[in-house]
Amino acid sequence: MINLSTGAFYERSTTQIGSLRARAETLQQQIGSGERLAHSSDDPVAAARLRMLDREERVSAVDTRNSQTAENNLKFADEAFGQAAVMISRARELALQAANATTSDEQRASIATELDGLRQNLLGLANGRNAAGHALFGGQAVGNAYQIDSATGVATYVGTATLDAVEIGEGQSIVPGNTGPEVFSFTDSSGAQTDIFAELSALSTALRAGGQTAADAARDGLTMLDTSFDKVTTAQTVLGSRLAWLEVMTERRTDNMERIADERSVMGGADLAVTMSRLQEMLTVLEASQSSFVRLANLNLFSMLR
């Protein structure tokens, strides 16, 4: 004799239909999100790889921010270098004019005044700010790179000796600028360290003294100004190479992010065509199961056994 349990039938049917509904809902979620993994247990290997890709993206985001900040600072510095080169070139023209024997003391005094103005403008550039509002040529310093004595007008570098490099990805780093001495300081003819600000001040003073001493100072100043110009243009060349390297690294990060996106799609992305097809099949099976359950549940079991 066959012993049929109505309770077991209902329980088994309900479980089966519930399972089909859950699988259909999972497929619908995959279509909506574009992701096939709702839980790590769905595919542990793929889930582990996706976590590694997430970490790569976070690191890349940090590198991108560092690169953008460095690029902005370097562009600020590049603009300052260009302006400084123009000012130093103008100072050389004035020194050449002052060295001419036909130039009068009055004219040299006028030249000295213009040199004072150029010196002040150069100090303004040296004390410029980067995108974050920090000293452009002060290293890690927050305030001015150069402090000017209110009584003597002497400019003293008060920034840090170095500027920290920043990470830009793939184990690479870049120094996002220059310190003041790297740009404006140099060794004079006697082997002593000096800077363009002190030399322009000394030249201006000598020109105001007049006579042969002024002419000699102007001729000596030409060498100093050439050295200073070379120092600025060399720093600008180095800066240009850093900007070019940043561009290379940015392109690499872009390629890497595209690779990550492609791999993420392969590892965790849902194939919409396949998923929709599976969903349609699942809904068909679910509908058939529900219809069968309703039909069988409405049968009179006892009448069938008679």
- pLDDT of 51: 74
29 or 61, which is more confident?
61
Question: Which letter does DSSP use for residue 151 in this model?
Answer: T
Taking residues 178-205, report their average pLDDT.
94
Delimit the domains of the chain by residue range.
1-34+270-306, 62-263
Pick the CATH number of 62-263 from 3.40.50.180, 3.40.50.1980, 1.25.40.340, 1.20.1330.10: 1.20.1330.10
Mean residue pLDDT across the chain: 81
Out of 52-61, 75-84, 85-94, which region has the weakest mean confidence (pLDDT)? Answer: 52-61
Does pLDDT of 275 surpass 60?
no
Q: Residues 98, 218: contact at Cβ < 8 Å?
A: yes
Q: Return the higher-pLDDT residue of 204 and 293.
A: 204
List, in sequence order, the alpha helices (H) in 102-210.
Answer: 105-126, 180-184, 196-209
Query: What are the φ/ψ torsions at residue 153 (nearest 5 degrees)?
Result: 80, 5
